[in-house]
Amino acid sequence: MARLGVDFGTTNTVAVVHDRGVFSVVLHRADTGAGTIVREVYPSAILIESGSEHRWFGLEADRRFGQHGPEPGSFYLPSLKRHLHNYSEGRTISMDAFSGRFDVGDLLTSYLGSLAESIRTSGLVEPDEPLETVITWPANANGAQRHITRRCFREAGFQVLSTLNEPTASAIELADCLTAGRGGRQRREPSAVAVFDLGGGTFDASAVWIDGDEFQVLTSAGIENLGGDDFDRVLLEMFLDKLKMSPDALIPLTRHALLRQTRAQKETIAGGVVRTLFLNPMDFGIQGLPISMPVAAYYDRLRPMLKPAIATLVSVIERAAEREPRIHVDRGLRIYLVGGTSKLPLVSEMVAAAFPRCQVVLTDKPFTSVAMGAAICAMDRVRYRDVFARHFGLIRLRDFGRAEVFDVVFPAGTPIPRRGEPPLERTAWYHPHHNIGHLRYLECTALGPGGLPDGSVRAWSDVLFPYDPGIPLSARPAADQVVDTEQFTGQTVCEVYRCDSDGVITVELRRPATDEVRTHEIYQD
């Protein structure tokens, strides 16, 4: 029976199949007039044709756009994952040359459906075999992003066995290599690995304690918008500066074509030999002579962008050492660099400078490490436990509504249940001072003065729950119907919060007067 690990990335998506003891990276194919293209990554891109609104996905979308360039009347959408950072139910994208808007969830489901078809076409999975899959997402992914990703995978035909943070998956892949997991397993002393995961659109850092087949995430943090896409944009801006052009002067399709070229130029740096980057504007219909750009000048622009990632890694390791005293930064802590953007020599140079006594390891499989770790988990070869990367809670009123307080339900660092374990549960009791409870949920990376949310703050669901037995639970009241009243203060309201192994949070609200219950899955809507 085959099982999959899938890394849905910002720039590319990778799938690894485990079948009868063998791990295989899925190879995706696209037929062209010159032959068949085969790649182990499936670009996270969509090409839509105006008029017919026909859609191409993945390798075919990337190939057609690269071959025909920015054709008028079409729309090229790379880096689909970035549109999930601020996802809300029904969110749409406006596209040039189209009068309407496209639903993000529909686009993602369609893209994942094409991915499923490509996986089956590879021959690694039998036509009628279920796609039993462990999917991954950034450690710093918010609740809405997790919700829509999991939902769309299921709607596209994947049977989601479990979910996994991307840095944790890479730590599992590394440990499996170190213990020769694909052959026999030898017992190693417990140790820690810090994962520095710099991909196409996000940066994540996690510290993972490894004890045999047990993986415990100690701390996680990340930056939502930092990755290869941003580095491509910087290089494009440098080229445009030489042309004395503003990025705003480019039509979107020409800009996408130029970014595709800057990405290709950036990737030539990985070997450490290239010293100059080139762009010929005439190839894109822009007047001007060919441009050269020293790699050193490019690095000067990237260093300030990488400093926050280094600082995040420092913070993650320091907090992990507080929880696990056996972690010693000055005695051989291993730092594992993964993600396609970590191939830039500047990345390992800056990490090594920040941690001179640590062992910095650059993965030999920057694009497939995460999917490989997920595939290992899909076969139940390891046990892992993740943690909340952010504080989750809700805003409550105190002093009879004169002040707000942030009630933290699950603090950052709280362990998340393993697959098969009962949900994590928290209960809150209180006496209501309103006819309708207005429960405003949010998450944040830090707590500021007075315990109020600070850092990166994201709103989740607003739940309106009627305490008044005269209002049916089936009703959906509005915020302007909330009225201060002491009529229900003699009753005790119960809120039961549960978090499952996917990090999905639900709240069960019980109305004491009638003993009626309503349950909500909490995410941004």
In this model, does residue 91 exceed pLDDT 70? yes
Sequential DSSP letters for 390-418:
SEEEEEEEETTTTEEEEEEEE-TTPBPPP
- pLDDT of 181 higher than 60: no
pLDDT confidence band for 97 (50 / 70 / 90): low
Q: What is the pLDDT of residue 197?
A: 94
How far apart CA 162 and CA 132 sit, in angstroms, is 9
pLDDT score, position 17: 96
Rounded to the nearest 10 degrees, how much is the dihedral formed by the CA atoms of 487, 491, 492, 496? -80
**pLDDT at residue 523 in the model:** 66
Residue 73, Cβ neighbours under 10 Å: how many?
Answer: 12
In this predicted model, what pLDDT tens digit does every residue of 409-442 receive, in sequence order?
Answer: 999 889 888 878 899 999 998 888 889 888 989 8
**pLDDT for the residue 425:** 95
> Does some domain include residue 441?
yes
Whether the pLDDT of residue 121 is over 60: the answer is yes
Q: Do the domain assignments include residue 150?
A: no
| The predicted structure's pLDDT at residue 154 | 95
Query: What mean pLDDT do residues 388-393 have?
Result: 88
Buried b / exposed e along 123-162 (16+ C-beta atoms within 10 A) = ebbeeeeebbbbbbbbbbbbbbbbbbbbebbeebbbebbb
Please classify residue 445 by burial: count the beta carbons closer than 10 Å to its beta carbon, then call 0-12 exposed, 13-18 middle and 19+ buried.
middle
Contact call for residues 78 and 44 (beta carbons, < 8 A): yes
User: Are 291 and 398 contained in the same domain?
Assistant: no
Q: How far apart are CA 38 and CA 263, in angstroms?
A: 19
Residue 455 φ/ψ, nearest 5 degrees: 70, -140
Instruction: Give mean pLDDT, residues 134-155.
Output: 88
Question: What gap in Å lies between CA 201 and CA 341, rounded to an integer?
Answer: 9
Model confidence band, residue 117 (pLDDT cutoffs 50, 70, 90): very high
Of the residues 299, 331, 355, which one is the last residue of a structural domain?
Answer: 299
Q: What percent of the chain has pLDDT over 70?
A: 94
Q: Among 279-293, 341-355, 439-453, which range has the highest average pLDDT? A: 341-355
| Residue 72 pLDDT class (50, 70, 90 cuts) | low
Alpha-carbon distance 480 to 8, whole Å?
A: 41
Measured distance CA(252)–CA(299) in Å, rounded: 26
What's the domain range around 239? Answer: 228-299
Per the domain annotation, does 64 fall within a domain? no
Residue 511 lies in a domain: yes
pLDDT per position as a tens digit, 1-20: 789 999 999 999 999 999 88
Predicted confidence (pLDDT) at residue 52 exceeds the cutoff of 80: no
- Tell me the one-letter amino acid at 360: V
Backbone torsion region of residue 73, taken as left when φ is above 0, otherwise alpha when ψ lies between -120 and 50, otherwise beta? left
Residue 64 has pLDDT above 80, yes or no: yes
Q: How confident is the model at residue 70 (pLDDT cuts 50, 70, 90)?
A: low
Between these two residues, 178 and 199, which has the higher pLDDT value?
199
Contact predicate 434/482, CB 8 Å: yes
Most confident of 255-259, 337-341, 386-390: 337-341
Q: Is residue 118 in some structural domain?
A: no
For residues 478-482, give the mean pLDDT.
Answer: 87
pLDDT in tens, 348-385: 999 999 999 999 999 888 889 999 999 999 988 788 88
Determine the pLDDT at residue 182. 42
Give the count of beta carbons closer than 10 Å to the beta carbon of residue 57. Answer: 24
Cα–Cα distance for residue pair 471/514, rounded to 1 Å = 11
Decide if pLDDT at 100 tops 80: no
pLDDT of residue 461: 76
Residue 484 DSSP code: B
In a domain, 306, yes or no: no
Residue in 310, 343, 76 with CA at minimum distance from that of residue 231: 343
Q: Is 503 left (phi over 0), alpha (psi -120 to 50) or beta?
A: left
Q: Residue 240 sits in a domain of what CATH number?
A: 3.90.640
**Domain assignment of residue 495, yes or no:** yes
Cα(324)–Cα(193) distance, integer angstroms: 12
In a domain, 101, yes or no: no
* Per-residue model confidence (pLDDT) at position 444: 87
Over the stretch 201-223, which tens digit does the pLDDT of each residue have?
A: 889 999 999 888 888 889 888 88
CATH classification of the domain holding 472: 2.60.34
Per-residue model confidence (pLDDT) at position 184: 46
Q: What's the half-sphere exposure (Cβ side, CA atoms, 13 Å) at 89?
A: 10
HEC profile of 233-262:
HHHHHHHHHHHCCCHHHCCHHHHHHHHHHH
Query: Of 245, 267, 299, which closes a domain?
Result: 299
Number of domains in the chain: 2
- Mean pLDDT lowest for which of 116-125, 129-138, 390-399? 390-399
Distance CA 352, CA 364 (A): 17
Q: Which among 254, 284, 299 is the end of a domain?
A: 299
**Which residues are 478's β-sheet partners?**
none
Query: For 478-492, what is the mean pLDDT?
Result: 86
Instruction: Give the mean pLDDT of the chain.
Output: 87
Instruction: Give the C-alpha separation, 348 to 368, whole Å.
Output: 19
